[in-house]
Amino acid sequence: MLSEVLMRLTMTKSKNSTNFYIIESAYINGKPTLKTVEKLGNLEEIKERKHIDDPIACAKIYLAKLNAVKTDFKTRPAYLQRNDGIKAHFLTCFLSLILYRYYRI
């Protein structure tokens, strides 16, 4: 049995820098599991890449967007065998993603 998957922001501190990671945690069959989704980098890298003063707020906003996409697109496997069915399914998913992002802005 699979329960809800949650993503959170974690920081690891060393002598020289503070690194940010997005961790996905879930309970599968009653056992907690963790998976690193993305390494965002250290404070200086995030400041340079995003050109902002507060990298922690930027990381939290990015995490909120990831969680929104994860909860908005609850999917199940699609079992397709014929080539035209696979192409039609891909086209449908791609167009729905474009429309979703267009109207989300």
- pTM flag (> 0.85): no
- Fill in the amino acid letter for 83: N
- pLDDT grade, residue 95 (50/70/90)? very high
Count of all residues that appear for the chain in the document: 105
Which two tokens mark 24? 């996905």
Q: In what order do the strands lie in the sheet with 6-13?
A: 6-13, 18-28, 31-42
Residue 2 has pLDDT above 70, yes or no: no
How far apart, in whole angstroms, are the C-alpha atoms of residue 11 and residue 48?
18
